[in-house]
Amino acid sequence: MTRSSAALGKDLIGLEPLSRRQIRMILDTAEPFKEISERRIKKVPMLRGKTIVNLFFEASTRTRISFEFAEKRLSADTVNIGAVGSSVSKGETLVDTARNLEAMRIDMVVIRHWSPGAASFLAARIPSNVINAGDGAHEHPTQGLLDILTLRDHFSRLEGLKVCIVGDVLHSRVARSNIFGLVTLGAKVAVCGPRTLMPAGIEELGVRVFGRVEAAIEWADALNVLRLQLERMQDGFVPSLREYNRVFGITRERLEWAPRDLLILHPGPINRGVEIDSDVADGPHSVILQQVTNGVAIRMAVLYLLAGGAPDLAEAAKSGKGVRG
């Protein structure tokens, strides 16, 4: 039997298929969860009795640990599995691994995988709820949501907000999730980077393209700066890292030319001195660590909603009520 929540459906694979109402519901549900992480005892019994498997086939610090904190703060039982140390290293397929986990009566799978489409492939084959924690260059929906929540926290609006995503858009699942989510919510979205790091036809996603970072800085209210994904670059997409920093790096000198204070986001991990200089990453306009804090609340909201939790959470959170069994 599949487990489908009325609010979101069975799985969260990406932001592309979500409606404005559904994205807003996740953001609004995250709000009361922020407070739980500030308590002395950071735990509510909302997912008590639920078993969640975190299946990470690619390296991760923020997403993996953030999901684990979110699950533990909701009182779920969790198991972490990586490619190394599991039977995947002996050639077991993704579906065989998941079916064996299903046989142990799990409820949810959080999956990060190098292959675009891995999360939806799995979701179509197992009855457990599946959450995409990043699949190749396809989507990273909870990162997109936490970025959007951080923007909303700061500006108190998303409609008409000008957000420019700067850097390696070609390899970025974070860029795609941000574009889908922000465009759906009525923000104005742009991308900026070398042509070699722009997917062909990116304009069709409803974004403006800047070839010069100075023009992007002049236009935007916020910059979401992407990491150069050196591990995904077989060919020379940029002449050198020093050259990339010289032409596209977000530096204090460049920001001083901005007509207004820009909010600076970065999904991490940061290549300091490449796509962003340290004095910007650690400077007064950076919300990089606030993004990480918001990540836990967003993941709590997604887990709670997919498990069948009611969207009007404020009351449920206060009373500590769980979700349907």
Q: Which residues bind ligand CP (CB under 6 A)?
A: 60-63, 134, 140, 143, 267-269
Indicate which residue of 40, 90, 105, 324 is catalytic. 90
Report which secondary-structure segment, H or E, holds 82.
Answer: strand 77-82
Indicate which residue of 24, 34, 62, 72 is catalytic. 62
Q: Which residue is nearest to ligand CP (CB)?
A: 63
Shortest separation between residue 276's beta carbon and ligand CP, angstroms: 14
Indicate which residue of 140, 152, 171, 173 is catalytic. 140
Contacts of 201 (CB under 8 A, 6+ apart): none
3-class DSSP state of 208: strand
Please confirm, yes or no, whether 39 is among the known catalytic residues: no
Shortest separation between residue 12's beta carbon and ligand CP, angstroms: 15
Please confirm, yes or no, whether 63 is among the known catalytic residues: yes
Task: Tell me how far apart the alpha carbons of residues 45 and 322 are, in angstroms, rounded to a whole number.
Answer: 6
Task: Tell me how far apart the alpha carbons of residues 213 and 258 are, in angstroms, rounded to a whole number.
Answer: 11
Please confirm, yes or no, whether 10 is among the known catalytic residues: no
| Cβ neighbour number for residue 283 with a 10 Å cutoff | 14
Task: Tell me how far apart the alpha carbons of residues 315 and 215 are, in angstroms, rounded to a whole number.
Answer: 46
Contacts of 12 (CB under 8 A, 6+ apart): 130, 131, 132, 141, 142, 302, 306
- Complex with ligand CP: residue 64 or 73, whichever CB lies closer: 64
Please confirm, yes or no, whether 73 is among the known catalytic residues: no
Shortest separation between residue 300's beta carbon and ligand CP, angstroms: 17
Task: Give me the amino acid identity at 21.
Answer: R
Indicate which residue of 29, 63, 78, 150 is catalytic. 63
- Complex with ligand CP: residue 12 or 317, whichever CB lies closer: 12
Whether residue 174 contacts residue 229, with contact meaning beta carbons closer than 8 Å, is answered with no
- Complex with ligand CP: residue 50 or 140, whichever CB lies closer: 140
Shortest separation between residue 65's beta carbon and ligand CP, angstroms: 8
Determine the straight-line distance between the first and last CA of the chain, rounded to whole angstroms.
14
Please confirm, yes or no, whether 140 is among the known catalytic residues: yes
Shortest separation between residue 112's beta carbon and ligand CP, angstroms: 7
Shortest separation between residue 58's beta carbon and ligand CP, angstroms: 8
- Complex with ligand CP: residue 61 or 100, whichever CB lies closer: 61
- Complex with ligand CP: residue 63 or 245, whichever CB lies closer: 63
Task: Tell me how far apart the alpha carbons of residues 143 and 12 are, in angstroms, rounded to a whole number.
Answer: 12
3-class DSSP state of 305: helix
| Cβ neighbour number for residue 208 with a 10 Å cutoff | 15
| Cβ neighbour number for residue 252 with a 10 Å cutoff | 11
Angle ∠(65,4,60) on CA atoms, nearest 5? 15
- Complex with ligand CP: residue 1 or 84, whichever CB lies closer: 84
Catalytic positions are: 62-63, 90, 112, 140
